[in-house]
Amino acid sequence: MQTQERTRTRLPSRPHQLLTALRVLIADSCPLFLLGLKTFLEQQEGIELVGTAREGEEVLRLAQQTRPSLVIVDLAIARPNNFRVIRQVRNLCGAKVLVVAHYTSPEYLAGAIQAGALGYLFKESDPYLFLLAIRTVQEGRPWIQREFTEGLFRLISQPLPPPQLLTARERDILALLAQGLSNKEIAYRLGIKPGTVKEHISRVLRKLNLRNRTEAAVYATQFDLQFNRNR
């Protein structure tokens, strides 16, 4: 019985069998990685590479011109301005978005998902895994590392306390946290010590019944908390 189950769920032995008629736009700030990914995808049956970009505005221009069905974008391009590129790509052409990165953090993952990305993949992934992630995202299913999903889905599925429970300073810190800033970066923006930021975040988690920074970042994006520079 176990043997039959393994046979039924076995993936195709040839990676290109995973994909059919897929228009892909890729964006990466590293020329070498961009060239390697371009070369790799051009060799795959059923993928039409419609363009490459190295910065955010170029991604948006090409997305509007070429109307891709999938955009693969580097975290360094996707992250600025609260993942604006992902949001605008979704609005411009409705393309699904897969974020690729050399590293991750709960804040980046939460921010990318809330902006509209369906997948988050390490650049060092095996090529076959890369194609599997592309197929999964294109089918409208999320591709996220399992260790990050529990807190995200718990937060999304339960009623949330209102942000009015927080002080103005706590809301500012939560908004900056959702942008992917570290405690040190938040402290610099606010002119306070990193230890003070850590204390504020601990209080926020207690007030909102959240367990970690990932859930806090998701909360901030769900309520669209904005950093008020005038405070």
CATH number of the domain that residue 31 is part of: 3.40.50.2300
Assess whether pLDDT exceeds 50 at residue 47.
yes
- pLDDT tens digits for 7-26? 333 334 444 444 457 999 99
Assess whether 51 and 108 both reside in one domain: yes
Q: pLDDT tier at 228 (50, 70, 90 boundaries)?
A: confident
- With b for 16 or more beta-carbon neighbours within 10 A and e for fewer, the 106-125 pattern comes to bbbbbbbbbbbbbbbbebee
Assess whether 138 and 167 both reside in one domain: no
What mean pLDDT, rounded, does the chain reach? 82
> What is the bridge-based pairing of β-strands 70-74 and 22-27?
parallel
Distance, CA of 5 to CA of 31 (rounded, Å)? 43
**Sheet containing 119-122: which strands, arranged edge to edge?**
47-53, 22-27, 70-74, 96-101, 119-122
Output the pLDDT for position 177.
85
Assess whether pLDDT exceeds 80 at residue 147.
no
Among 75-79, 120-124, 192-196, 202-206, name the one with the lowest average pLDDT. Answer: 120-124
Assess whether 40 and 137 both reside in one domain: yes
Task: Assess if residue 137 is contained within a domain.
Answer: yes
Which one has a higher pLDDT value, 181 or 193?
193
Assess whether pLDDT exceeds 60 at residue 5.
no
Task: Assess if residue 213 is contained within a domain.
Answer: yes
Output the pLDDT for position 222.
74
Q: pLDDT tier at 196 (50, 70, 90 boundaries)?
A: very high
Assess whether 139 and 40 both reside in one domain: yes
Burial grade of 3 (CB within 10 A; 0-12, 13-18, 19 or more): exposed
Distance, CA of 133 to CA of 130 (rounded, Å)? 5
Q: What percent of the chain has pLDDT over 70?
A: 81
Task: Assess if residue 31 is contained within a domain.
Answer: yes
Task: Assess if residue 12 is contained within a domain.
Answer: no
Output the pLDDT for position 217.
77
- Range 75-82 average pLDDT: 86
pTM: 0.61
Distance, CA of 126 to CA of 103 (rounded, Å)? 15
Output the pLDDT for position 19.
44
Output the pLDDT for position 168.
94
65-79, 103-117, 129-143 — most confident range: 65-79
- Range 64-71 average pLDDT: 96
Distance, CA of 205 to CA of 69 (rounded, Å)? 38
Give the domain range for residue 179: 163-222
Assess whether 27 and 72 both reside in one domain: yes
Distance, CA of 66 to CA of 49 (rounded, Å)? 10
Q: pLDDT tier at 81 (50, 70, 90 boundaries)?
A: confident
Assess whether 113 and 206 both reside in one domain: no
Could you tell me the end-to-end alpha-carbon distance of the chain, in angstroms, rounded to an integer?
A: 64
